[in-house]
Structure 1
């Protein structure tokens, strides 16, 4: 009987130890959210696969990292003040902006991870999105190719074959003997093949004038795109600067990759 009691005590001790270790692991183990897994350093194919998993997961949100659903991706405001010396003399303010299908982008390359952590790291990724839609409230006033445009309502833009290049500069930061990457700056450049724009309530709902100016805009879409795309890129870059630190701030760079 005494022997059985001794075995029970040891068994309980083992259980308590396992529970303590389990709790300790939950507290101190920091990793990428499932199903994202680590890659070997320099394995670009694996990195692209994990990035696609991240985009798919981000579409519905990553609550464990305090990242909301990115489908649609929401931006508060995009503002464009027209160049008075160009063919586009338009002041356009877009608010409550939503980007649909942004997470459907296909990554083509990811480069720049370095073993030298003594200086800032520049990550360069390129992707293509077959079709992306932007919806927003708008207010516009000005001229396009000498034609007047004025209105306030809802805007929809459909962008085809959006090719993007994203440069993310990250600075190393030492904490508790580990190196963490801190997002310092993000720059985004885009090219696209076509834009179709629709606006409700142009010219106080005058259908004839609305149809006429929208036809001109869509036939000369590049005039608007060349001016507006940089503003869109800037707004998206600021959004990424807000979101990315939430994903990487607690993961040491030493833990990004599988051991070699």
Structure 2
């Protein structure tokens, strides 16, 4: 009896760990079928904004973001700046529209993988810490809440992958993810930037928002590295928990279709 009970528990654990599969209500595609993969990706985002807990896939609608040091100048001279984002939460990925997918062939390492998409509005909310010196006479030492609003956020992601074998199945592992981002507008508000002067806080926020393109060009490398971690965490969840071949139609299904 003890052996039978042990066997049943083992089978249940095996099913839970090794037999995780893609949701049955999402259409599977042929390898490399870009239009079909695009439709399925959009269906996934629409049907599962809260993620898929049984596959350990995190929610898309509310996404925690790691703390990020955006600017870290050497603290010498008349002008330097330190700026860190803390406790950030990302809102809006559930409204993503995937516009094109390329790659994902039978051998995913043989061709370049690309994912293109757009989001009407992407919002970051959290805290910030700022230190610095401006124009030799204005010292900055502030912390407070921050909000960034990216309008018509468009992205292109290029992936380089390798295959990892687990339990006689192929799993995709990303070893390089390169994002490219375009947007129509960036609106930011930093609360309490000058703690003792609310008028000056408003002025510096207005200055930023009037000249957001110049700030974007200056900060883009650090922002892209941050979004690399965001996109990677979302995609890794799927590839880590579902075998690559289980995402696609089997040969028998293709032949009978």
Q: The TM-score by the shorter chain falls in which range?
A: 0.7 to 0.9
Q: Distance in 2 between matches of 1:224 and 1:208?
A: 21
* Greater Rg over alpha carbons, structure: 1
Q: Which residue of 2 aligns with 1:202?
A: 193
What are the ranges of 5 or more consecutive residues in structure 2 without an aligned counterpart? 1-11
Structure 2: how far apart are the matches of 1:110 and 1:231? 26
The counterpart of 2:162, out of the listed 158, 164, 171, is 171
For residues 226-255 of structure 1, the C-alpha deviation after alignment (integer angstroms, 9 at most, x for no partner) is 233432332232244344333223533333
- TM-score by length of structure 2 reads 0.78
2:51 maps to 1:61: yes
CA 1:232–1:240 in 2, change beyond 3 Å: closer, same or farther?
A: same
1:110 Cα shift?
Answer: 0.6
In the alignment, structure 1 segments of 5+ residues that lack a partner are 1-22
Work out whether 1:101 is the aligned partner of 2:98: no
RMSD: 3.1
User: Deviation at 1:224?
Assistant: 2.0
Among 151, 175, 181, the residue aligned to 1:190: 181
Q: Are the equivalent residues in 2 in contact too, given 1:48–1:108 (CA < 8 A)?
A: yes
Closer/same/farther in 2, CA of residues 115 and 34 from structure 1, 3 Å limit: closer
Determine the structure 2 residue equivalent to 1:15: none
Kindly state the Cα deviation for residue 181 of structure 1 after the two structures are TM-superposed.
1.7
Q: Which residue is 2:248 aligned to? A: 257
Q: Of 22, 26, 34, which residue of structure 2 is paired with 1:32?
A: 22
Structure-2 change in CA distance of 1:214 and 1:243 (3 Å): closer
Would the aligned equivalents of 2:121 and 2:151 in 1 still touch at CA under 8 Å?
yes
Q: Distance in 1 between matches of 2:224 and 2:64?
A: 13
Residue aligned with 2:66, SS: strand
2:207 is matched with 216
The CA distance in 2 between the partners of 1:49 and 1:77, in whole Å, is 33
- 1:177, distance to aligned residue in structure 2 (A): 4.4
Aligned mates of 2:133, 2:49 — CA distance in 1: 37
Residue 41 in structure 1 maps to residue 34 in structure 2: no
| Number of matched pairs | 235
